[in-house]
Amino acid sequence: MPKIIFLKNPSPDTYSDKYAITAKSSCYDSCFLPILSHTFIDQAGLRMYLTGLAANADETPLDALIITSQRAVEAVASVLLELSVSTRSYIRSLPLYTVGPATAALVQSHGFSKILGGAGAGNGRILASQIVGAMPRRCVFFTGETRRDIIPVTLRENGIECIERVVYNSKGIDGVEDQFMELMSHTKDVRWTVFFSPAGAESIARLIARNPGTTKVAAIGPTTEEFLLKNGITPNTVSRNPDPQSLFQGIDEAST
């Protein structure tokens, strides 16, 4: 069975990971290679910040939250559990803009109900356009230390106040290039390597660029495609949306 390597952390239960399930149904044997570690930042400060948002809701009303990564969802959700019922209710009642179906499903599982974007917003540029169309006055963007400026810049250019709150940082895992080479050397039929983000992927991208033809490459979206092109790799397919179905549709089309 041909092999596919996902450059990401699997779901907590690998057997229920949607990418692994879709790979199996598409007759691929899959494995995950985590390339980033994540750490929550100043959770005590985040608790105070969320409490303040609720306490000052009448004086400085907030129109929406923005969370575009699953790690940011987890950082905010872990703090919400420690807050009062009224504060939790207020935060969860706010419209929440997010990117992709997986992140939308995660925020829903943590009690948010007014979820916008999601499957209809495959990247930050699309989401920013949707937010501008709704014209909220004041938003809070919970994000990581490393992120692109598309959303906050676009909102501010259109007169929307966008407050950024960094809630986690990411660091590349040492030795991932060696782990990748070991996977390649011990697996006879690695057909595809899937890049989900530029973060932490530089060393593996350089390896593939130096050894063209060793694996086909898929990018999960246009930001990752741009990163690969800058590193000398033209991906064989770019997923139309950040979900397993779109990814494997592109892989099937590129494999024929």
pTM of this prediction? 0.79
Lookup: tokens for 193: 């390597």
pLDDT, position 100: 84
Contact 87, 62 (CB under 8 A): no
The pLDDT mean for the chain works out to 91
Domains of the chain: which residue ranges?
39-171
Strand partners, 165: 142
Q: DSSP secondary-structure letter at 11?
A: P
Express as a percent the part of the chain with pLDDT over 70.
Answer: 97
H helical segments located in 81-149: 85-93, 101-109, 124-134
Res. 238 pLDDT band, cuts 50 70 90: very high
Contact 190, 215 (CB under 8 A): yes
Q: DSSP secondary-structure letter at 196?
A: -
Please say if the pLDDT value at position 146 is more than 80: no
The H or E element containing residue 40 is strand 36-40
Please tell me the class of the 39-171 domain. Answer: alpha beta
Tell me what the mean pLDDT of segment 112-132 comes to.
91
pLDDT, position 64: 97
Lookup: tokens for 51: 């409490």
Cα 7 from Cα 123, distance rounded (Å): 18
Res. 122 pLDDT band, cuts 50 70 90: confident
pLDDT, position 213: 85
SS3 category, 122: coil
Cα 60 from Cα 209, distance rounded (Å): 51
Express as a percent the part of the chain with pLDDT over 90.
Answer: 69
pLDDT, position 13: 58
Please say if the pLDDT value at position 14 is more than 60: no
Res. 187 pLDDT band, cuts 50 70 90: low
Tell me what the mean pLDDT of segment 163-178 comes to.
92
Cα 151 from Cα 127, distance rounded (Å): 8
pLDDT, position 249: 94
